[in-house]
Amino acid sequence: MFDWDKHNLRKIRAHRIKAGEVESALSNDPIPIYEQDVGGEMRYVYYGETGPGRLLALVLVERGERIRVVTAYDLDAGQERDYLARRLRGE
């Protein structure tokens, strides 16, 4: 289940992304890229693809059974090359 509120919705809207696109990309076999500890809480970064093929970077935290999206944005050219190369390798 996703934890949406006005704060994280505002962050993704700044990148012209809708909550449904983030949820789609996260349910469509995203690729884990890295994780980092931010103030004692683990943040996970994924590259994912929406149903229509939009490529997104997704930053989230897991809080119990809930997924809180910190932000999301379109992949830049280098990230897109990395994503496509990883997909070709079967990741």
Question: Does residue 38 lie within any of the structural domains?
Answer: yes
- Identify the domain containing residue 60 by its residue range: 6-88
Rounded-to-integer distance, Cα 21 and Cα 39, Å: 28
| Residue 26: count of CB within 10 angstroms of its CB | 19
Instruction: Give the chain's domain count.
Output: 1
pLDDT in tens, the chain (91 residues): 999 999 999 999 999 999 999 999 999 999 999 999 999 999 999 999 999 999 999 999 999 999 999 999 999 999 999 999 999 999 9
Q: Can you give the pTM of this predicted structure?
A: 0.92
Which residue type does 20 have?
G
Question: Does residue 1 lie within any of the structural domains?
Answer: no
Question: Does residue 83 lie within any of the structural domains?
Answer: yes
**Geometric angle at alpha carbon 88, from 85 and 91, rounded to 5°:** 90
Question: Does residue 57 lie within any of the structural domains?
Answer: yes
